[in-house]
Amino acid sequence: MFQALHETVEFINRKTNNFQPEIGIVLGTGLGGLVNDIQIEYQIMYSNIPNFPISTLEFHSGKLIFGMLEGKKVVAMQGRLHYYEGYSMQQ
């Protein structure tokens, strides 16, 4: 499991030029529009990230958004993952 986590982190760091967010946001119900306020620097589709679960819900975008919001570096999950989609809590 740790090898898979390391591989995922290395991939994200390469794709984002080692972007170091200060804040993480899960864009769930009622927060989806917040993405419009983020000055987006990088976007990565969940399906492109090694070892990363993919949302099975039709209306979930499924990507990580990296950028600036109110002067802070943020990463936002656009498209949540749910336990009932069949993933273990470890995943």
Over the stretch 53-91, which tens digit does the pLDDT of each residue have? 876 655 556 899 999 999 999 999 998 776 666 666 676
**15: enclosing H helix or E strand:** helix 2-15
- The residue among 1, 7, 16 whose CA lies nearest residue 90 is 1
What percent of the residues of the chain are helix, what percent strand, and what percent coil, each to the nearest 5? 30, 30, 45
Task: State percent of the chain over pLDDT 90.
Answer: 62
**Number of C-alpha atoms within 13 angstroms, CB side, residue 35?**
19
Give the global pTM. 0.85
Indicate whether 6 pLDDT > 60: yes
Q: What kind and span of H or E run contains 12?
A: helix 2-15
